[in-house]
Structure 1
Amino acid sequence: MSRHLRPSDRDALQAELRTLKAATPFPVLFGGTVEHGNLTLSGFVGTRSTILRNLVIDVRCGVGGRAMAEQRPIGVQGYANSLSITHEYDHQVGAEGIETLLAVPVVVRGRTRGALYGGLRVNQPLSDRLTDVVVERAHELAREIDIRDEVDRRLAMFAASGRVQAPIARDDRKMDAIIESYLALRSIADRIEDTDLEAEVMAVEGTLRRILPTDRRTSSVTLSKREIEVLEYASLGCRNAEIAARLSLSVDTVKTYMRNLMGKLDVATRQEAVVEARRHGLLG
């Protein structure tokens, strides 16, 4: 899949920061993704200024750099006078009034891909419970990035081999790319709190749907919207766990949808379901 079709990892990071805002007493939260070996801060909740925006954190520098280098949470109380970190970013941290800072790396398959920060504007210790909450969200973000990486890898593999289960034509590969892009837009829309912006994203998703072929066969088989979503991801080679994560469902629920749609299509395998659904005009 082309990189521009992949949902922005920055949006996923911002969603985790909003979750942390509701779940923790941190008045200021921020984070970023790793680009070209360094961390670029791109997500913010509760900041007073734009001084941290697009700040590049070098590996091993400051709290976040040390957390990335050691791939473990690093917390600092009394930030300005701490002897456990370097102080390249004292001006930016001080401008936000942060006295206690926690940085948790986002590690995907052994590689640091980002970091989440929580800041307190008072000098007090960080509890283990508070640290655990941020670690849990970092793990959740790592799982989301890993799923996206796997979808990218599989699409690249399919494109290189020129097939998905069976040889497919160039137009079919384009249809798969369109399916993945509007599913990605729908996933992004589900995480947007601004209703006007959500409507704009859904309008783009609808436009992509209309690009799909209109000369679909009349079929006696009817699949629900959710069954089609599950099958669309299956057509991209996603496992049940990946589909569940992408659609915010349980694995058992995905299995139920898959079992039901296979029964409607009268097939015995996922591959047969994809082929039969395309024959009926239910998939692009």
Structure 2
Amino acid sequence: MVFTATNNSYGEPQDLKTPMTRALKQLLASTGVSLAFGGSVDPNGLVKLDCFVGPTIGAVPGGEVAQGEGLGGKAAALRTGISVNDYCDEQSITHRYDPIIRAEGLRSLVAVPVIVSRRVVGMMYGAFRTFDIIGGRIERSVGHEVRALEQALVVRELAAPRVTGGELDAVRLREELRETHRSIRALARQASEPGVRKALAMMAERLMQATSETDNGAVQDIDSGVTAREKEVLQLAGAGLPNQVIADALGLSLHTVKSYMKSAMSKLHGRTRLEAVVAARTKGLIP
């Protein structure tokens, strides 16, 4: 499987743009960065910046970042996330794009590559216009959104052979429903009032049922043996969360989460977490 942003299963030249914009909106909401932006990476390693959430004066949009240059180019070359607290004074990166960064008034940035099928297909940035120490919380939030985007791209690519013509709208609707479901679950975890948490959980459950109903290609498998708790773990894993964050969100130990994941993988015949998530979604067990 090879994901190509300019020649994909749907035949749309900017197919990465829509899911990335959704991920950037989540990033802006969860971190409070001044600007969340990104774009696809072409086969030559050139980052094309065309996705923006937050105010911009127009210096960055339409820009291109070369392999190894600046923050994003270095992150793409190293295939890992990188953050700087003062971009223009940072000694570990090249400064080819300083005029653009200064024009936009950006100062503290983090860049994380989107990797699918072992190839960097996109880059996501979070940026502050003030001097902010980009520590663990911001880096984790960007990483979570990138992992969720990667898994969404893989799931969509796996489903692509089944998608033709009139089915495309249904596929997009399922993606929108899953993103909305994920947002509601995140709000439920943050809510302090028990009544609000319960109401949001009920909304999430109804939305999950709607997602399954819109998935005409799903094979319903009520006899899979996957427990409710295992479904919760799979759902959070499908959002790109690592085991420790899943454990914290569900109030479980890391060992227990690993045990649930291992059990779910066995029941769904998945060799990896991603295969288990894909199988669970295909069977309609999670949105």
Q: Deviations over 1:171-208 (max 9, x none)?
A: xxxxx513431213424665999xxxxxxxxxxxxxxx
2:23 to 16, 23, 28: 16
Instruction: Say whether 1:122 aligns with 2:155.
Output: no
Unaligned runs of 5+ residues in structure 2 are 1-7, 181-208, 221-274
> What is the alpha-carbon distance in structure 2 between the residues aligned to residue 115 and residue 2 of structure 1?
20
- Seen in structure 2, the aligned counterparts of structure 1 residues 66 and 226 have a Cα distance that, compared at 3 Å, is closer
Q: How far apart in 1 are the matches of 2:170 and 2:149?
A: 19
Residue type at the aligned position of 2:159: V
In the superposition, relative to structure 1, how do residues 6 and 137 fare at CA in structure 2: closer, same or farther (>3 Å)?
same
Q: Report the Cα distance in structure 1 between the residues aligned to 2:150 and 2:77, rounded to whole angstroms.
A: 16
Look up the equivalent residue of 2:278 and give its one-letter code.
E
SS at match of 1:52: coil
Q: In structure 2, what is the equivalent of residue 183 of structure 1?
A: 170
1:222-271: CA deviations, max 9, x gaps?
xx976653342459xxx88437658xxx96357xxxxxxxxxxxxxxxxx
1:48 aligns with 2:56: yes
Cα distance between partner residues in 2 of 1:6 and 1:88:
28
Identity, in percent, stands at: 24
What's the secondary structure of 1:137's corresponding residue? Answer: helix
SS in 2 for 1:8: coil
Q: Where does 1:205-216 land on structure 2 (aligned, <5 Å)?
A: none
User: CA separation of 1:103/1:120 partners in 2, compared to 1, >3 Å: closer, same or farther?
Assistant: same
Q: Quick one: which amino acid aligns to residue 169 of structure 2?
A: Y
CA distance in structure 2 between the partners assigned to 1:139 and 1:110 by the alignment:
13
Counterpart CA distance in 1 for 2:57 and 2:156 is 32
Q: Distance in 2 between matches of 1:76 and 1:68?
A: 15
1:146 to 144, 154, 160: 154
Number of aligned residue pairs: give it.
Answer: 197
- 1:212-231 alignment, distance < 5 Å: 229-231=214-216
Q: Distance in 2 between matches of 1:20 and 1:6?
A: 24
The answer to whether the 8 Å contact 2:218/2:284 transfers is no
Tell me the TM-score normalized by structure 1.
0.60
Distance in 2 between the 1:225 and 1:148 partners? 18
Structure 1 unaligned blocks of 5 or more: 156-175, 194-223, 255-284
- TM-score of the pair, normalised by structure 2: 0.60
For residue 37 of structure 2, give the secondary structure of its aligned residue in structure 1: strand
Letter in structure 1 aligned against 2:137:
R
State how 1:1-284 maps to structure 2 within 5 Å.
Answer: 3-4=10-11, 8-37=15-44, 38-152=46-160, 154-155=161-162, 177-187=164-174, 229-234=214-219, 241-242=277-278, 252-253=285-286
Residues 58, 104 of structure 2: 8 Å contact kept: no
User: Where do 4+ consecutive residues of structure 1 move more than 6 Å?
Assistant: none
Contact 1:240 1:251 in 2 (8 A): no
Query: C-alpha deviations, 1:136-173, integer Å up to 9, x for none?
Result: 10000111111122223x45xxxxxxxxxxxxxxxxxx
Change (3 A) 1:33 1:229: same
- The AA in structure 1 aligned to 2:85 is Q
Q: Is the 8 A contact 1:11 1:188 kept in 2?
A: no
Q: Secondary structure at the match of 1:4?
A: coil
CA distance in 2 between counterparts of 1:133 and 1:64 reads 17
**Is the alpha carbon distance of 1:183 and 1:244 closer, same or farther for their aligned partners in structure 2, counting shifts above 3 Å?**
farther
SS in 1 for 2:285: helix
Once the two structures are TM-superposed, the CA of residue 19 in structure 1 deviates from its matched residue by 0.6
CA distance in 1, matches of 2:167, 2:279: 12
